[in-house]
Structure 1
Amino acid sequence: MDPTPATPGMLDACFLGPYAENDGLLEKLVVEFLRDHVYWRRNFHPEDPPAIPTDAAFDPGYRAFEARMRRELHQLSAALKKSVPFHSPRYIGHMASDLLLPGLAAQILTLPYNPNNVSEDAAPVTVDLEVEVGLQLARMVGYPHDPDRDPCAFGHLTSGGTLANYQALRLALALKAFPIALRAAGVPDLDLPDDDWTAFNLGPSAATALVVRWKDWLAAQPAGAHRAWKAKVEAERIERRGLVDFFAAHPDLRVPWVLAPITAHYSWSKGMKLLGLGRAQLRLMPERDMRLDPAALQETLEACLRLRQPVLAAVGVFGTTEYGTVDPIDALVAARDAWLPRGLGFSVHVDAAWGGYLATLFREPDGSLRPREAVAEGFARFPRPHVHAAVEALAASDSITIDPHKLGYLPYGAGAFLCRDHRAMALLAESADYVFHDHAPRGYRARYRNLGQFIPEGSKPGANVAAVYVTHKVLPLDHVHFGQLPAQTVRAAEAFHAEALAFAARVRDRVRVEVPFPPDSNLVCVAFNPVGNRDIAVANAFARRLHDELRVDPRAPLQDRSFFGSATTLRPQALGEAGMHRILDALGLDPAAEGDAEDHLVILRHTLMNPWLIDRHNGISYIALYFRHLEQRIDALRPA
């Protein structure tokens, strides 16, 4: 049955609301399903007598415990009033906003059941939902998502994008090294490459096909030979030998590089260290205007082939954490496909932790990709051609990171990892006798009911899974339903951009204001420099003072702040020298001299997630109010 079409008033029911307008709806849901949980407990075995006596509440020990619990909960509730007001349209700082009611209610509903999605034994319901969530997200990005046909994608939730990026590294390394293990073990009949370099550079698709051939070949062997060959290959795998022994046994190979843009999240550095590849093997690619430079990537790949330096993966960012910009994912995919015949195979991973859900704007209810002209209706500039090309190329990437707890408006602890072909996941399978049954389940859904074999975590909350699954069912991941949310935020970003330009004209006699680059998504940055100043350090000090009045101060009441924002920096490495000079010239600043401590520029960063930044019901634009507030602060901060 098709989901109910979205209506204009749908967004009003999606959240608790800035003023907690939907408190009655949330309260009814929580009470209804708490009672439902209570009845479930009472009807599990109704013949069992109550273990807690009915007069227990009158016992002094009981009452003392209740009093302590109430005291601590009241203290916690009071302390939490100093939390960041993510729910408010006055919050335009980091990547957080109000929570979608379907996800919030589903998580609260599921918490008392406390499922652990490590396996079907601990989570017989939510482990199935997690497999479905992976397929929901796969459809959103254009991956194959029919579990009855190969190739089919696979996805699972993680604690966040950082862990999903680690999983991408694990899978890319396993795929790259597995053909070497087959060669070292001397497996016959698989048409293996003649040398280690070629085997190490088969590329992810060919390596996955080799995994399938190996499994089929192994299944055809007699029981004794099956065990012997399996043990022989396992002994040669990089996961068993470790990096040191593996590369010592194959001296013609080097530890591979990971190529990522300078704006890549710091989780890539952490991941390289965690896997033992080493931070030195993470090569940060130059950029142009905050986006990976395809020419620089090509030059690096030329050098890698010339030096016989393997590449593990090329990483593109779909919505950078700091600026919201979109890398040319199509150029990364084209580079992978062009270099493979030349003998340099590598994976393409897209870090779409921030921007992943923007793909709903580009997806029809039947799963097809919308043309750019259709997406652009109702927007001033979105999507720019390179953004549409990047979305289209997501379907050809090898793996993707997405964070439901960012633009999915879901509680923290919900990141996601996707790979385009689930058959590669066999290389990550682990076994623990006390958790997993010793058999090979048939069928896609049955195979992944023991999720703990494939994921980095040992335990994981099923309540988060329920939140994501129910949200995707209530708001399907297409432009008619869920896409209404990012559409609202993109319109807010365009309005913010326009207001910023008008603001810059109003204050040009006092402060020079620049939007360094038009937004690709729903983040907008603004740079400042007092008129007459040419020193970057002075401009940075001014921006920091502005930011000091836009962040949470736990020592002061939240109500003392009119708005909340965040700050970041522009660096020549990310912009390119030409881009940096362009912005400095527009601000009237001199370039930093060699050796200056402040060669970067501090700017204000605004994440425009809240659906009510433009409150048409009450005729309020919080964006316009913000710039009036900023103008007042500029006048107060400037010396007389």
Structure 2
Amino acid sequence: MDLQHWLGRATRAIQDWADTFGPYEPHPSLQVDDRQFAAAFEEFTGRLKDNYPFFHPHYAGQMLKPPHPAAVVGHLTAMLINPNNHALDGGPATAAMEREAVARLAAMFGYDTHLGHLTTSGTIANLEALFVARELHPGRGVAHSADAHYTHGRMCHVLGVASHPVRTDGRGRMDLDALEDVLRTGEVGTVVLTTGTTGLGAVDPVHDVLPIAERYGVRIHVDAAYGGFFTLLAGAEGSEGLAPEPWRAIARCDSVVVDPHKHGLQPYGCGAVLFRDPEVGRFYLHDSPYTYFTSADLHLGEISLECSRAGASAAALWLTFQLLPPTREGLGAVLAAGRRAALRWAELIDASDVLELYQRPELDIVTYFPVLDPPALTAIDAASARILADGMAANPDPVFLSTFRAGRDAFAARHPGIVPDADGARVLRSVLMKPESEHHVDHLHDRLEELARAV
């Protein structure tokens, strides 16, 4: 896809549409001298170079990558109009696109009915889900795994509800016995399960928690912000296939959050929240003296805590879904490549004499650490930090990683032979969410072995 060609087509298409309304001249106050703009633009593009190469397969650090060209074109084209998807009179076309795109997300998770919308982030999407949870179970708190995203503790604080972290097992999943201990107190109204933790990519056993939640009369919210699109690989054949049970069980949960700006190939920020029961829309009821009057249809602002939201985000997602739909053959093929890359790297680390897996990858996140003698937490922490810095500073052929801090008990559960001489240690972490990583894993591994041997 020729991005420059389609960006040109985008500006011409919007200008052709604008011309149908008759000629007009922009106000003189908006005019900028080309030479002045050229100077500012040169400084601007120069400053943007102070970034890591998120687009390149040698960047195997945080969960960052550029959006798909279709998303860029869709976003820019709609942005030239700048619709607001709060009310239908602010963005009728992009509001319809949002409804269609959200319906495809709901179908991906197996929801027969739904109420949902896009948000500016997974944080806001989770806030909305927990807001509804609070309204349905006033005075009762929220339980989530100790490895869940920190946003849940923060949003519980914002909402004025108690947060109950639940310990995890040796694979980073919520421990079911510990969950029952918390639920027996009667203080919890909602359990948050994570399908793809941002640190390790661990998947909570949603299917096993459902009967427990039913027994105690609590709701289940699924934070699938990072891993949600992996449901497309549930039950798939081949090495990239995932055990279907936790993913299929999402269809029976009360709400789910997913971030298209991660594996959905979208620019920041594009999150989404979905409720299985459309009746929860009653908790959003509010009035506005200057919106919602152009149509009797439901306005997206009437089911959202946010007000102004970029219609361009909905347009970008809609256009992307026309080309790469949320199906196993569409976006699923993109995720499968990243998962194959993670599994391949795990195999290489298993065979290495200088690197060791911290935890076997479930999705596309690989965690590992240098083999040392003696294998002490303080030494592992220092060596991981050194490899991280040396990899980024290497010239030529840098490699970009990230780290994950593992507590002493978590380390001992996975590697009982480690000397526990500290509260925890940093291990190296690589997110292989770019499908191109599949063809660069061998090179990345060779470079990491070189760096580990130097340390």
Q: Give the TM-score taking structure 1 as reference length.
A: 0.68
SS in 1 for 2:427: strand
User: One-letter code of the match for 2:399?
Assistant: F
Task: Name structure 2 gaps, 5 residues minimum.
Answer: none
1:161 is displaced (CA, Å) by 0.7
Structure 1 residue 421: deviation in Å? 1.3
Deviation by residue 1:579-605 (Cα, 9 ceiling, x = unmatched): 6244141xxx3224xxxxx31121011
Q: AA paired with 1:269?
A: G
Of residues 238, 241, 246, the one that matches 1:378 is 238
In structure 2, what is the equivalent of residue 583 of structure 1?
Answer: 415
What is the deviation of 1:560?
Answer: 5.2
Which of 302, 311, 316 is the aligned partner of 1:462? 311
The residue aligned with 1:603 is: 427
- Cα distance change, pair 581–293 in 1 and its aligned pair in 2 (3 A): closer
Residues 550 and 566 in structure 1, CA contact (< 8 A), matched pair in contact too: no
Distance 2:33 2:330 in 1: 47
Q: Does residue 358 of structure 1 match 2:358?
A: no
CA contact (8 A) 1:133 1:155 kept: no
Report the secondary structure of 1:418's partner residue. Answer: strand
The one-character-per-residue Cα deviations of 1:396-453 (angstroms, maximum 9, x if unpaired) are 11001100001112101101111111121122122111122398x3xxxx22xx2122
The answer on 1:163 being equivalent to 2:107 is no
The equivalent of 1:629 in structure 2 is 447
Determine if the alignment matches structure 1 residue 536 to structure 2 residue 377: yes
Query: How much identity, in percent, do the aligned residues show?
Result: 27
Secondary structure (helix, strand or coil) at the match of 2:89 reads coil
Distance 1:628 1:426, change over 3 A: same
Q: Which residue of 2 aligns with 1:514?
A: 356
Once the two structures are superposed, the pairs formed by residues 146-157 of structure 1 within 5 Å of their partners are: 152-157=113-118
Measured on the aligned residues, the alpha-carbon RMSD in Å equals 2.1
Query: Letter of the aligned partner of 2:415 in structure 1?
Result: I
- 1:28 corresponds in structure 2 to 5
Tell me if structure 2 keeps the 8 A contact 1:102–1:471. yes
User: Conserved in 2, the CA contact under 8 Å of 1:549 and 1:561?
Assistant: no
Give runs of ≥4 in structure 1 deviating > 3 Å: 558-561
The residue that corresponds to 1:335 in the other structure is: 212
**Letter of the aligned partner of 1:633 in structure 2?**
L
**Structure 2 equivalent of residue 258 of structure 1:** 142
In structure 1, runs of 5+ residues without a counterpart are 1-21, 145-151, 178-254, 340-344, 363-371, 508-512, 593-597, 616-621
On the 8 A contact 2:270/2:313 being kept in 1, the answer is: yes
Query: What secondary structure, in the 3-state scheme, does the structure 2 residue paired with 1:631 have?
Result: helix
- In the alignment, which residue of structure 1 is the partner of 2:219? 347
How far 1:454 moved relative to its partner?
A: 2.0
- One-letter identity of the residue aligned with 2:159: L
Cα deviation digits, residues 120-160 of structure 1 (max 9, x gap): 0111111121122221110001111xxxxxxx202211111
Task: Report the Cα distance in structure 1 between the residues aligned to 2:360 and 2:376, rounded to whole angstroms.
Answer: 25
Give CA-to-partner distance per residue, 1:258-300, whole Å, 9 cap, x none.
Answer: 11000111111210121122xxx11110110210011111122
Preserved contact between residue 260 and residue 314 of structure 1 (Cα < 8 Å): yes
Which of 334, 337, 344 does residue 495 from structure 1 map onto?
A: 344
CA distance in 1, matches of 2:57, 2:36: 36
Provide the residue aligned with 2:301 in structure 1: 452
Give, in angstroms, the shift of residue 636 of structure 1. 2.6
C-alpha change, 1:582 and 1:35, in structure 2 (3 Å) is: closer
The structure having more radius of gyration, on CA atoms, is 1
Task: Measure the CA separation in 1 of the matches of 2:250 and 2:450.
Answer: 44
Post-superposition offset of 1:561: 5.6
**What is the CA distance between 1:562 and its match in structure 2?**
1.4
**Which whole-Å deviations, capped at 9, do the CAs of 1:38-66 have from their partners, x for residues lacking one?**
11111212xx4x4259xx9xxxx96x722
2:284 to 418, 428, 437: 428
Distance 1:127 1:392 in 2: 29
Moved more, 564-573 or 417-426: 564-573
Distance in 2 of aligned mates of 1:301 and 1:459: 38
From 276, 296, 321, give the equivalent of 2:178. 296
Task: Note closer, same or farther for the CA distance 1:623–1:427 as it changes in structure 2 (3 Å cut).
Answer: same
Per the alignment, do residues 481 and 537 of structure 1 end up closer, same or farther by CA in structure 2, a change over 3 Å counting?
same
